[in-house]
Structure 1
Amino acid sequence: MDVDRVAVREQAEAVLRRLAGEQARLREDQWRAIEALVVDKRRVLCVQRTGWGKSAVYFVATALLRALDAGPDDRSAGTGPTVIVSPLLALMRNQVESAARAGIRARTINSANLDEWDEITGEIHAGRVDVLLISPERLNNPDFRDSVLPQLAATTGLLVVDEAHCVSDWGHDFRPDYRRLRTFLANLPAGTPVLATTATANSRVTADVAEQLSTETRTVGAPVDDPGAQLSDALVLRGPLDRESLRLAVLDLPSPAHRLGWLADHLDQLPGSGIIYTLTVAAAGETAEFLRSRGYSVASYTGQDDDADRRAAEQDLLDNKIKALVATSALGMGFDKPDLGFVVHLGAPSSPIAYYQQVGRAGRAVEHAEVLLLPGVEDQAIWRYFASLAFPPEHQVRAVLDALPEDRPLSTAALEPIVDLRRTRLELMLKVLDVDGAVRRVRGGWLATGEPWHYDAERLRRVAQARTAEQQAMREYAATTGCRMEFLRRCLDDDGATRCGRCDRCAGPQYDADVSAPALAAAQAFLGRPGSEIMPKKMWPTGLATVGVSLRGKISPDEQALPGRAVGRLSDLGWGGRLRTLVGPEAADGPVPDDVAGAVIEVLKAWAHGDDRWAQRPVGVVAVGSAHRPRLVRSLAERIATVGRLPLLGEVPARDSAARDGGARGNSAQRVRALHDAFVIPDELVAALSGVTGPVLLVDDLVDSGWTMTMVSRLLRQAGAPGVLPLALAIAG
């Protein structure tokens, strides 16, 4: 049947006006995408800058498809609902409200509204839902995958994959749950249109995503990850990625204190309200606390915050009730505040593409927005940490596959004692194996499928090389003497990249790097405050019996450590850098430096006199035997004993260095297995403990998982110590 494309465009323009106002008009590529989806029933990939209007494409297409062949009051006669897969549903509320103005009805299925699933499913069947929003995690939920997804795939009128670069492990934010979309795509009825959207994809990611969207695969002989290897029948609409409102700049400041001081001096000069991105949760909290102490109205936003707190912080920023949201990358994709006036990064993301995705939040409906990068020397250590969480080596993957039965599911917690992987890394690996068909997630855990599986070491090596190249590009971005916008656009393979005329390299710096003496002094004093709490363990890891350790349930109160203290975390803006020089992987052993010893004494003073002071003053000092830094730990224990006028009761040595090392890696179950029976209390220390009447200070250099302190504290309590107060230089993370 011939379709009057002119009439369809007129309808599309009418829907857009209801969405965005009477002055709104479709961009040419917006119309091309809508036409391909609605008229030609094609699969489309839109790689367009933030603010271009990708959401308008799928909302307009939804309205037209739902009205197709339907009467004005009977939309159920048109196509089925649009299914939008998006990683951050909570941040799409403003889009859904806009869609409602165009008469588009949206519902969400997520883990927070399980009691509404049956009702929503009924509404879908009755044709009363135009848009169904789901997270990629829903696609891998066994109940949803098996009971909801097949019927949903059969009735979907339009599938939208938002932030589609997450599908590709070449993308800066690969998410294994997104790979489940391949199954969803395969089960769609022929002729179901599909729209994938992203603002950040270079040519390699674009080719990979387009190929995964394709209904045909025509391999021409090159490696699968080569951008030229596949020819796709998906329509790719790639526009110029320049953001004419953004004014990019880099400020090279010598220390975290200078960076916080600069913010304290200049935050009120930045236009409107905005986002301050940090690389770690600890840095977000510290930055927000310092800025509040300097009179600014700011809030923090991290993945560790409660959902209600995050929603409240988002709304305060949307309503301009705060000057800035200090956030980790947990705030990113999907957040829509058109009048966002600035984005500041305290620390550089590890990829120019990830950086461009985050700064793209700013300047969507304002003439000028300031984008400032304040890199730090500690950035590369943070990049290395996140890189260490990559897909595990083959022997660990094979250990998981060998451990999984085909007839009885094992939970992730049950697998932990068997394989030496932390929970987050283990879950990511299992999701990849699930998509690859080697395992299957079911109610109660995971099953092996028995299907052959190939460990693609060469591909993983090339992904790692790509990540290393991205880090180098980020260093080059900070140091470039050329146009910064042109640099970022070239990283995204934007053929139209030219000098922007706006950035600090093109037009000169808008802001200088000066920091006032009062602001710097305040930041130094704030960051110089030592002290972080070490929380005691209260439960043993599950499944220890599997590895021959007869510990389970709650740790007996008579064997627990008390709350402890450390100078700081390795990720702290203040003490983090200094502590990394002492306990980092490349640190040499030696006596505790005077400045760090002084910080330890300040921690002890605060611990003795603060609001959360210890219940009883310690009566002695005990050192943990260290395989790598014995001089550091021993000298620290000696300094504490001398200054505190306490007896140095002795040291708890490890039976061998291998056992001590085993406690520093892996998941909790594996650490307890390695540390169980690894330490011994010498007879002379047992004798010294027999006469103590109060808690002892247990001194170590680094608390990683916390299990070394837990196991040694348990031994000391069993040997007669009334209490154990852990004290360390640093906490990992």
Structure 2
Amino acid sequence: MRAAAEAHLRALAGESARLREDQWRAVRALVAERRRALVVQRTGWGKSAVYFVATALRRAEGAGPTVIISPLLALMRNQISAAERAGIRARTINSANIDAWEQTYTDIEAGLVDVLLVSPERLNNPDFRDRVLPELAAGAGLVVIDEAHCVSDWGHDFRPDYRRIRTLLGDLPSGVPVLATTATANERVTRDVAEQLETGDGEATLVLRGGLDRESLHLAVVELPDSTARLSWLAQHLAELPGSGIIYTLTVAAATETAEFLTGRGYDVRPYSGQTDPEERRRAEDDLLANRTKALVATSALGMGFDKPDLGFVVHLGAPQSPISYYQQVGRAGRGVQRAEVLLLPGREDREIWAYFASLAFPPEETVRRTLDALAAAEGPVSLPRLEAQVDLGRSRLEQMLKVLDVDGAVRRVRGGWTATGRPWSYDAERYAAVTAARKAEQRAMLAYIGTDECRMRFLRHQLDDTGAEPCGRCDNCTNRVWSTDVDAAQRRAATEHLNRPGVAVAPRKQWPTGMAALGVTASGNIAPGLRAEEGRALGRLTDIGWGTTLRRVLADDAPDEPVSDEVFQGVVTVLAAWSWAERPVGVVAMPSLRRPRMITALAERLCAVGRLAPVGAIGYRTPDGVGPRRHNSAQRLASLWDALTLDDTLRAGLSALDGPILLVDDQTDTGWTLTVAARLLREAGAPAVLPLVLATRS
């Protein structure tokens, strides 16, 4: 068997390839012993070789196809290419190839598919789960869980859909081997995943864990004072970095902003995020793989499993909130080259971004119970939009919560939405609190990594409980060779000019949320054109690395209520000067504000003075409480606003005296519903058009 395994490996990786001892142990356990195994090995070690070799051996025995559960389209494409090199026929079922699903099912039934790659989300698609999955589970020759740390809610990248894999494993016939692989699991995650793999027959999961050093990686941290310095430093040094690489950012806005700037400085780079068009993402990946571009400027959407052996560098503009996540992302570099540069350029705003992601933790018990009660009371499936009218959670967080409840057996996804199962369910407050505490500990560890004067690779390996970690002798601390923090004056001027470009479009809402009648609001369908706001403008996004830095400080919860600085006001004036409106505004209306009344009023008055616009007045609140507590989704937000705003007689009289559009001035917008409701009131009172103008937008 080993000779046959070696032959398959050579077909996959070249004539000089030989199985590592732990690779062979894993293959033997899967093929000869039909066991369940967890392989925790560094990136580039050859985990995919294990399951492709095992697949070839199992198929030669007449076993069914291997099912690989894989998290990302980029990873799937890499795996299919690798399989084809070894003569293994691989297919994928994902959201980007819906048209090919029926043919894939037919080919599986005909025995023409050796490997089927599916996303974990696909496991709970009602059609796939009920029609395809039972047959796959019954006929699979091997099941592979790639990036298996996602199974564990203690892992840095827990995904509820991965927890559903336990159900799949429980339905497998006896003797179907299972392999789980990851490069980023500490001891706690390793134990958790291994326990979830166990069959209950008393046989423990085989765990093969190796050292996590990456001898090609040269780690360094470059601390710079602000986002302008970081961007200009990167433009100054990008050409010095070897080959092609990845520049990671923490937000989509930062990826776009950075790619635009570097392109303007003469670099061939491409933005890459979950919001990038799928075909554009594929072309960007192909260009990076072929070294036709210097770098992809990417969010974590380009992460797990992206396989480019000669990737020469990884740069982070902003620190991930976990050293384990950081280790995983930098592991993209240096698999097939002797030296790869790994640079971290942390930012002061990193902790604010971490705080935002932390706010997406599992909701409190009261919210969960309200969701279960709403589903139980419904006569049929409830869609996410309709559920939002009853549960105050944002769409993505609501969906994540439902996925966890689905895995726990309390709800079920069906055609048309979600239903309650009626099964007993308990809120594990202790576990959720412990996971939150673990996340905070990871953030503290990331800050410690930035500030450490010890070996950086050893630090990361210790975070992964790699007990054999020794000083690497390569990082900036080991060698005392540090990157200069000097920034070329011309590059800084260019970065300053780029980041200080003001103006972000604020799209108007065009449709009322679903299910508003349940909240006592008589609004449904499209918003009548005569009641809409026009497209508005914001000075900047709160997530930007340019104006966002200033705006986050000005609009912080503990910031004083005072007029904006001359710098901010001039930015607003520049936005107005560049605004290509159909008709120039003739007046200004201020939004009401309980937190920043002085700021909004002063901004409106100053705009009137500089633009020779009529001061029409300010919208008011019907009650001293305003709109009440912050709401987290469109339906709840609109319901709180619907009757909360009012126009007094003075404002109405001012509107009647105008014959042109008005500027509607506010400090920031998030969901856009405050501006939408205010515009509706103003249009009903006679305003010909309403042009929203805000300091900041969150999107």
- Structure 1 length-normalised TM: 0.94
* Distance change >3 Å, CA 721–CA 452, structure 1 → 2: same
Q: Which runs of 5+ in 2 are unaligned?
A: none
Cα distance in 2 for partners of 1:509, 1:596 equals 40
Q: Secondary structure at the match of 2:343?
A: strand
Number of residue pairs the alignment of both structures matches: 698
- 2:423 maps to what in 1? 451
Q: Secondary structure at the match of 1:558?
A: helix
- 1:667 maps to what in 2? 633
How far is 1:10 from its partner?
A: 0.5
Q: How does 1:137-216 map to 2 (within 5 A)?
A: 137-216=121-200
2:34 pairs, out of 34, 41, 46, with: 41
How far is 1:510 from its partner?
A: 4.8
Q: How does 1:157-556 map to 2 (within 5 A)?
A: 157-216=141-200, 233-405=204-376, 408-556=380-528
Q: Secondary structure at the match of 1:660?
A: coil
Q: Secondary structure at the match of 1:649?
A: strand
* Distance change >3 Å, CA 121–CA 481, structure 1 → 2: same
How far is 1:12 from its partner?
A: 0.3
- 2:49 maps to what in 1? 56
Match of 1:465, as an amino acid? Answer: A
Cα distance in 1 for partners of 2:293, 2:269 equals 5
Cα distance in 2 for partners of 1:633, 1:509 equals 50
Is 1:693 matched with 2:693? no
Cα distance in 1 for partners of 2:482, 2:640 equals 56
- 1:622 maps to what in 2? 589
Cα distance in 1 for partners of 2:454, 2:65 equals 48
Match of 2:396, as an amino acid? Answer: T
- 2:22 maps to what in 1? 29
Match of 1:326, as an amino acid? Answer: V
- 1:684 maps to what in 2? 650
- 1:113 maps to what in 2? 97
Q: Is the 8 A contact 1:626 1:660 kept in 2?
A: no
Is 1:565 matched with 2:549? no
Q: What are the Cα deviations for residues 197-222 of structure 1, in whole angstroms up to 9, with x where unaligned?
A: 0010011100000000011388xxxx
Q: What are the Cα deviations for residues 153-196 of structure 1, in whole angstroms up to 9, with x where unaligned?
A: 11111000000000001111111111110110000011110000
How far is 1:93 from its partner?
A: 2.2
Match of 2:122, as an amino acid? Answer: R
Does 269-278 or 649-658 show the bigger shift?
A: 649-658
Cα distance in 2 for partners of 1:594, 1:113 equals 52
Cα distance in 2 for partners of 1:509, 1:252 equals 14
Cα distance in 1 for partners of 2:342, 2:402 equals 38
Q: Is the 8 A contact 1:211 1:217 kept in 2?
A: no
Q: Is the 8 A contact 2:589 2:662 kept in 1?
A: yes
- 1:652 maps to what in 2? 619
How far is 1:661 from its partner?
A: 4.0
Cα distance in 2 for partners of 1:474, 1:246 equals 18
Does 209-218 or 321-330 show the bigger shift?
A: 209-218
How far is 1:647 from its partner?
A: 1.7
Is 1:584 matched with 2:550? no
Cα distance in 1 for partners of 2:237, 2:471 equals 27
Cα distance in 2 for partners of 1:692, 1:217 equals 80
- 1:596 maps to what in 2? 568
Q: Secondary structure at the match of 2:164?
A: helix
Q: Which runs of 5+ in 1 are unaligned?
A: 1-7, 69-77, 219-231, 608-612
Q: What are the Cα deviations for residues 340-389 of structure 1, in whole angstroms up to 9, with x where unaligned?
A: 00000000000000000000000000000000000000000000001101
- Structure 2 length-normalised TM: 0.98
Q: What are the Cα deviations for residues 710-731 of structure 1, in whole angstroms up to 9, with x where unaligned?
A: 1001100100110011011111
Match of 1:33, as an amino acid? Answer: A
Q: Secondary structure at the match of 1:715?
A: helix
How far is 1:682 from its partner?
A: 0.5
Q: What are the Cα deviations for residues 109-146 of structure 1, in whole angstroms up to 9, with x where unaligned?
A: 22333443333223222222110111101101011111
- 1:20 maps to what in 2? 13
Cα distance in 2 for partners of 1:55, 1:400 equals 41
Does 84-93 or 702-711 show the bigger shift?
A: 84-93
Cα distance in 1 for partners of 2:503, 2:604 equals 17
Cα distance in 2 for partners of 1:661, 1:529 equals 35
Identity, in percent, stands at 65
Does 346-355 or 639-648 show the bigger shift?
A: 639-648
* Distance change >3 Å, CA 428–CA 23, structure 1 → 2: same
Q: How does 1:46-125 map to 2 (within 5 A)?
A: 46-68=39-61, 78-125=62-109
How far is 1:615 from its partner?
A: 1.0
* Distance change >3 Å, CA 411–CA 29, structure 1 → 2: same
Q: Is the 8 A contact 1:89 1:133 kept in 2?
A: no
Q: Secondary structure at the match of 2:129?
A: helix
Cα distance in 1 for partners of 2:120, 2:84 equals 23
Q: Is the 8 A contact 1:627 1:660 kept in 2?
A: no
Cα distance in 1 for partners of 2:486, 2:101 equals 56
Q: Is the 8 A contact 1:89 1:134 kept in 2?
A: no
RMSD: 1.2
Cα distance in 2 for partners of 1:54, 1:144 equals 27
1:133 pairs, out of 93, 117, 126, with: 117
2:600 pairs, out of 625, 629, 633, with: 633
Match of 1:118, as an amino acid? Answer: E
Q: Is the 8 A contact 2:74 2:285 kept in 1?
A: no
Q: Is the 8 A contact 1:566 1:727 kept in 2?
A: yes
Cα distance in 1 for partners of 2:226, 2:435 equals 32
Q: Is the 8 A contact 1:270 1:370 kept in 2?
A: yes
Match of 1:233, as an amino acid? Answer: A
